[in-house]
């Protein structure tokens, strides 16, 4: 990833890059439980006419409620892992300069 960022920078390309980073397996929820919660939350969001910038907070809160808070813990672990990966990419990028 650091090499890709370096090439982008060297070419003077503007814009960002999407780095996908899955949740560490030990913090992932059971697929059936989380997918059912997401589907139910999406259905309710659509029924209520929620969209735009209100959609994400609604979905996060609804899924948290539907999973008894388990999704919040998983999301926190994902954010922490994302920060770890970002710092590793940044460190590698700095060493390439």
Torsion over CA: 69, 27, 30, 44 (sign): positive
Dist. CA 64–CA 92, nearest whole Å: 35
The predicted structure's pLDDT at residue 20: 93
Record the pTM.
0.77
Domains: count for the chain:
1
How many Cα atoms are found within 13 Å in the side-chain-facing hemisphere of 14?
0
CA dist 58 and 55 (Å) reads: 5
Taken as a whole, the chain contains a residue count of 97
pLDDT digits (tens, 9 = 90+) for 31-66: 999 999 999 999 999 999 999 999 999 999 999 999
In this predicted structure, what is the pLDDT of residue 40?
98
Kindly tell me the burial class for residue 91, based on how many C-beta atoms sit within 10 Å of its own C-beta (0-12, 13-18, 19 or more): exposed
Domain of 9, in residue numbers = 2-96
The per-residue pLDDT for 74 is: 95
User: What is the per-residue pLDDT for 65?
Assistant: 97
pLDDT of residue 97: 73
């Amino acid at each position: 990833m650091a090499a890709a960022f370096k090439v982008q920078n060297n070419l003077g390309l503007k814009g960002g890059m999407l780095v996908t980073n899955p949740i560490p397996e030990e913090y992932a929820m059971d697929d059936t439980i989380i997918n059912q919660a997401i589907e139910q939350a999406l259905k309710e969001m659509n029924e209520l006419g929620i969209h735009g910038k209100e959609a994400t907070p609604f979905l996060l809160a609804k899924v948290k409620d539907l999973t008894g808070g388990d999704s919040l813990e998983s999301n926190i672990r994902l954010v922490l892992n994302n920060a770890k990966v970002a710092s590793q990419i940044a460190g590698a990028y700095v060493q390439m300069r």
